[in-house]
């Protein structure tokens, strides 16, 4: 439009100049003439005619050169128009592919996305979305092929392609492949939140608690998880590390690990119970007796109470006296009474042991209390009474099992 207006202005200016020029020449006594000679040839004409011919030739040449230029640019314009049409079609294909993928039409989405990926302005999105569609229909070979194409078209987007690949590997239960990809990405950008989040999930799936433990500081610094979620991760990690170390039955390794665990994790019942149980299991219960007493005083727990009763103390009488002090605040606690019965028997006070165990059963019958009563009867050579207590315990266990099966059936 601007060019057309400019051309009209020029034509108008030339036309005006020609008109006023002709008027000026007409008013002169002599309109002037132009003589052109070439060897034996000569051309003579008036100045007005010469100027008119000159303007005509100029416009003919101008139009001719314009046509030549348009003709030379025509192939490029045709290619540009074709590319523009292809780009528009690929954009529509991308939208349809995304819609099909969202609706679960995986094969349709995959087909249309790949068909138009090469003409798209964003081929990376085509290939990544097609890879997700292929994964959803279980075509892992196709998924990997599309991911390779995405990597070729997204050389500057290695993180994006790698994250998508790792996510798909995770959802496809290919944890080793996910770890391989995420390890490479982590070396490129150690603080990337999405990489850290997927690494955390991968280590969990692989139960690689040592690696996950080393990742906790970065998860905290980069605010990858909510504070409550991070606390759960710490509890999970150190609980499993304690179990792993406990299976090795190495008291020194257990104590070293326990010293490294943050206090906020140590105070959790489950974590402390794992540690105390492991130490007692390797026969070093006396080393944590005082610590277990402090834990019980701070946070009363049936589990910790039972563990205290399992400590083989070198001074069972003193151990019994410590436990009896808890009767002041927990006199009707059936578990405490059962533990007191156990400790009384270990301290050779059989009468007190019988009394505590019967009190425990009167409050809440338990298989353990019946078993301990049966053991006491055996020690007193009373097989009949022992059989009766064992029978009560077995019936109680059987009833509990039946109830549990009925609940599972519901």
Unique residue bearing structure tokens 């020194």? 252
State the pLDDT at residue 299: 84
Q: Are 345 and 372 in contact (CB under 8 A)?
A: yes
- Residue 165, domain member (yes or no): yes
- The DSSP secondary structure of 15-47, one letter per residue, reads HHHHHHHHHHHHHSS---EEEEEETTEEEEEEH
Q: Which residues of 184-216 are buried (b: 16+ CB within 10 A; e: fewer)?
A: ebbeeeeebebbbbbbbbbbbeeebbeebbebb
Q: Give me the half-sphere count of Cα atoms (radius 13 Å) on the Cβ side of residue 39.
A: 0
Domain extent at residue 143: 126-225
Domain count, the chain: 1
- Residue 185, domain member (yes or no): yes
State the pLDDT at residue 100: 58
State the pLDDT at residue 82: 55
Q: Are 309 and 339 in contact (CB under 8 A)?
A: yes
State the pLDDT at residue 200: 94
Main-chain dihedrals φ then ψ at residue 35, nearest 5 degrees = -120, 125
> Nearest CA to 343 among 322, 374, 328, 371?
322
Give the CATH number of the domain where residue 208 resides. Answer: 1.25.40.10
- Residue 166, domain member (yes or no): yes
- Residue 31, domain member (yes or no): no
- Residue 307, domain member (yes or no): no
Residue 324, Cα to own-chain centre: how many angstroms?
Answer: 51
State the pLDDT at residue 147: 77
Q: Which helix (H) or strand (E) holds 86?
A: helix 47-103
- Residue 278, domain member (yes or no): no
- Residue 18, domain member (yes or no): no
Give the pair of three-digit tokens for residue 229.
């979620």
Can you give the C-alpha Rg of the chain in angstroms? 46
Per-residue pLDDT of the chain (410 residues; tens, 9 = 90+): 666 565 566 656 666 665 565 565 555 555 566 666 676 777 766 666 666 676 777 777 777 777 777 777 767 766 666 555 555 566 666 566 566 556 667 676 666 767 666 666 667 777 777 787 777 777 778 887 877 777 776 656 788 888 888 888 898 888 999 999 999 999 989 999 999 999 999 999 999 999 999 999 999 998 888 988 999 999 999 999 999 998 888 889 999 999 999 988 888 878 888 999 999 988 888 888 999 999 888 888 899 999 999 998 889 999 999 999 999 988 899 999 999 999 999 999 999 999 999 999 999 998 899 899 898 888 888 888 889 988 988 988 888 777 777 665 54
- Residue 133, domain member (yes or no): yes
């Amino acid at each position: 439009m601007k060019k057309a207006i400019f051309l009209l202005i020029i034509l108008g200016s030339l036309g005006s100049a020609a008109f006023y020029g002709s008027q000026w020449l007409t008013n002169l006594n002599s309109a002037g003439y132009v003589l052109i000679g070439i060897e034996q040839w000569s051309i003579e004409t008036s100045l007005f005619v010469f100027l008119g011919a000159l303007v005509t030739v100029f416009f003919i040449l101008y139009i001719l050169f314009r046509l030549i230029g348009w003709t030379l640019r025509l192939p490029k314009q045709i290619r540009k128009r074709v590319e523009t049409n292809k780009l528009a079609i690929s954009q529509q294909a991308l939208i349809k592919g995304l819609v099909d993928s969202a609706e679960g039409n995986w094969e349709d989405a995959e087909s249309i996305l790949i068909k138009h990926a090469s003409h798209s302005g964003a081929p990376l999105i085509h290939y990544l979305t097609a890879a997700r569609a292929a994964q959803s229909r279980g075509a892992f070979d196709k998924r990997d092929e599309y991911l390779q194409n995405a990597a070729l078209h997204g050389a500057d987007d290695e993180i994006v392609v790698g994250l998508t690949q790792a996510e798909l590997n995770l959802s496809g239960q290919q944890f080793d492949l996910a770890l391989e990809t995420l390890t490479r990405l982590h070396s490129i950008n150690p603080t990337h939140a999405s990489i850290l989040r997927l690494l955390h999930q991968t280590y969990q799936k692989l139960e690689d608690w040592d690696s996950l433990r080393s990742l906790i500081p970065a998860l905290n610094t980069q605010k990858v998880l909510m504070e409550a979620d991070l606390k759960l991760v710490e509890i999970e990690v150190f609980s499993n590390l304690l179990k792993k170390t406990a299976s090795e039955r190495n008291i020194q390794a257990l104590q070293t690990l326990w010293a490294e665990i943050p206090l906020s994790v140590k105070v959790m019942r489950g974590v402390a119970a794992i540690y105390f149980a492991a130490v007692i299991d390797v026969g070093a219960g006396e080393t944590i007796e005082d610590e277990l007493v402090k834990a019980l005083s701070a946070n009363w727990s049936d589990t910790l109470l039972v563990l205290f009763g399992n400590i083989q103390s070198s001074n069972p009488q003193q151990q019994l006296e410590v436990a009896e002090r808890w009767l002041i605040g927990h006199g009707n606690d059936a578990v405490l009474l059962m533990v007191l019965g156990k400790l009384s028997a270990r301290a050779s006070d059989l009468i007190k042991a019988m009394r505590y165990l019967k009190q425990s059963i009167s409050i809440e019958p338990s298989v353990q209390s019946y078993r301990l009563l049966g053991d006491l009867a055996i020690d007193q050579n009373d097989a009949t009474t022992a059989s009766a207590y064992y029978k009560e315990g077995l019936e109680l266990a059987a009833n509990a099992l039946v109830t549990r099966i009925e609940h599972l059936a519901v």
